[in-house]
Structure 1
Amino acid sequence: MDKVFSIIVTFNGEKWIRTAISSLLMEGDSGVIVVDNGSSDSTVDIIKTEFPQIDLICLNKNLGFGCGNNIGIARAISLGADYVFLLNQDAFVAPGALSALSNYLLENLEYDVASPIHCSPDIHTLDKKTLRNYVVQYAPEYISDACLGSIKDSYSIRGINAAAWMVRVSAFKKVGGFDPLFFMYGEDDDLVNRMNYHGCRFVLLPSAKIIHFRESSSVLRKSYFLDLKLRAERIKSNLLIELKQPGLGYLYMAKYIVAKSFFKPFSDFILDLNVGGLFAHLIACFMLFVKIKVIRDHGRICAFGGPVFLEHGLGIRS
């Protein structure tokens, strides 16, 4: 029987973790691995006390969503996993979702990643962000069929956010894990690009559902400077996705960074006088320039493929 391991990366997730883990345990045979990114709340205590059967990995500091998942993926592979299911800490699976996803991949070898329908804030409402950013763009046939009341069993889709992915282990071995250059935002879009580049295919299953509560931004943004840092991180990640395309030279990369995070923000500032937006772009510009060689190296490594970034979730596997 094929082995499925579910992975949750946590960071101060006491509000959601009971629901997330319980929903996975109700699915039966899936092993559950939790990687905690140095939580300062009671997340770890809850898991140790209420879910002692969980494989819990505690990190000393927050390494980010991607690196946390890489550590969990590497652990699952070492335990003989055939499939890995990634689930956000602020989400839970509806009954039968896990088996529907793994069984579909078992019976349809042409696909490597299966995604459920993302609902929020309840099972009767599609998650607006996932709908707008992925489903409308990459699976318009599903939208048409849903409007006409004739939904099919599955839909090919270029990619979807990683709040809930069922992935063949062979796909991670072919493409690698999340790039540690992405600390927050964009790591799943980067991996979607790499999956497509190496010929891995995504499928959307309407019969499988998750409910994604979505973390409140007000919890994260406690000060003006933290808000500025997060905005800069998002801008950096969006530009980094483009800069990691295979074959780009340093000159093109430098021109792209200057155009997108220096000249354009100044022209926008003249129109809207948004000081915060201007500074966020300038910070992102600096962060990209200081790592331009590493970015190019990672782009070349990702083009070659292989199980990169999975060794301890940090560096490149030799």
Structure 2
Amino acid sequence: MDKPVIFVNILAWNGERWLKGCLDSVFASEGADFKVLVVDNGSSDRSAEIVEKDYPQALLVRNAANLGFAEGNNVGIRYALDRGADQVVLLNQDVTVDRQWLSQLLSAAETEREFQIFAPLQYDYEGRELDRLFLRGMLDMSPEFAEDYKKGEGFRKIYPLPTALGAAVLIKKEVFLKAGGFDPFYFVYHEETDLFQRCAYHGFRIALAPGSRINHWHGSLHPEEMALRSRYLTYRNKLVLMLKDPRISVFSGLLACFSWSWQFAAENAGPARGFLRIALVAWLQLLVLFYLPLIAYKRFREKRGACYL
């Protein structure tokens, strides 16, 4: 039987600070045959030049502008699938990887056939301890992981998950062909959760493979000059995410949006609690109403199958 074609896709945006560490560690990976694709997402720094000059063994695609994390990754996914990829690993630019990270992911994908999406353990960038955001998410999502972590006696071979926590994820080709790619509407924030909601709707399953390990810096996509826009996209996309979940009705999504809006307003209203809380809730609900027709169309389209690729 032919070996599966593996693509490791790295989306780069103004990432010259991290790219060398990322690519050096990826090319030092052992026990797996793979191709590396770097998609430069309209960088204004030397990201593309670094790849072109120092890593001729890497494939390079240049986007003319920053298409966002969602569509930027879609460009790479299309490229890989068009060239026969059986499995695509999406890797953040601010990550370094263990030498066995990929072989462990591929081993899990080969032996744990009931799962189609696999994520590694995430450590901090120095590799000293589990990344705090990753750990918090895992403790919330997986009672089995929480139990094993508290015992401190090692991890199991696999942990089923409701979603994956970004930075690095292996996805089999059949997932893209059925569930599609990232929704470009998100641009950035919550786009991966949206994809994994659709994956669950179409019957695909996600797992953590603790034998695989990466180190994650965080923050490479969040420059200070984008702080205001980042906050807007975070809030807007959170509402859209709840409304778009194909596993629940639109009515249930609206109730979830309203409940989250009140909770958000209560936590962020500050001293002027009464008026500001009402104003925040009103603004969030207006966003919901504004995007509702588009979301209804997207729900219909996404339930029918592959889209965005």
- The aligned runs of 1:267-306 (5 Å cut-off) are 271-273=270-272, 288-305=288-305
Q: Which residue identity does 2:308 align to in structure 1?
A: F
| Residues 269 and 277 in structure 2, CA contact (< 8 A), matched pair in contact too | no
Hey, what does 1:308 align to over in structure 2?
307
Shift of 1:174: 1.5
Measure the CA separation in 2 of the matches of 1:259 and 1:156.
28
Query: In percent, how many aligned pairs have the same letter?
Result: 29
Describe the SS at the equivalent of 1:125. Answer: coil
CA RMSD of aligned residues (A): 2.8
Out of 130, 134, 150, the residue aligned to residue 134 of structure 2 is 130
- The aligned runs of 1:1-318 (5 Å cut-off) are 1-27=3-29, 29-133=33-137, 135-146=138-149, 147-215=151-219, 220-222=223-225, 226-246=226-246, 248-249=249-250, 261=261, 271-273=270-272, 288-305=288-305, 307-310=306-309
Instruction: Give the gaps of 5 or more residues in structure 2.
Output: none
| Residues 33 and 54 in structure 1, CA contact (< 8 A), matched pair in contact too | yes
Residues 80-132 of structure 1: CA deviation (Å, up to 9, x unaligned): 11110010011121111101101211222111011110111322211111111
| Residues 11 and 39 in structure 1, CA contact (< 8 A), matched pair in contact too | yes
Residues 137-192 of structure 1: CA deviation (Å, up to 9, x unaligned): 22221222232414222211222222110111111111111111211110111112
Shift of 1:245: 2.5
Hey, what does 1:315 align to over in structure 2?
none
| Residues 231 and 280 in structure 1, CA contact (< 8 A), matched pair in contact too | no
Q: TM-score, normalised by structure 2?
A: 0.87
Describe the SS at the equivalent of 1:40. Answer: coil
Measured at CA, do residues 212 and 197 of structure 1 come closer, stay the same or move farther in structure 2, by a change above 3 Å? same
| Residues 254 and 289 in structure 1, CA contact (< 8 A), matched pair in contact too | no
Q: Which residue identity does 1:309 align to in structure 2?
A: Y
| Residues 198 and 245 in structure 2, CA contact (< 8 A), matched pair in contact too | no
Instruction: Give the gaps of 5 or more residues in structure 1.
Output: 311-318
| Residues 244 and 295 in structure 2, CA contact (< 8 A), matched pair in contact too | yes
Measure the CA separation in 2 of the matches of 1:276 and 1:106.
53
| Residues 269 and 276 in structure 2, CA contact (< 8 A), matched pair in contact too | no
Describe the SS at the equivalent of 2:17. Answer: coil
Describe the SS at the equivalent of 2:122. Answer: strand
Measure the CA separation in 2 of the matches of 1:34 and 1:43.
10
Measure the CA separation in 2 of the matches of 1:81 and 1:257.
38
| Aligned residue pair count | 302
Measure the CA separation in 2 of the matches of 1:144 and 1:210.
22
Measure the CA separation in 1 of the matches of 2:75 and 2:220.
26
Measure the CA separation in 1 of the matches of 2:56 and 2:279.
46
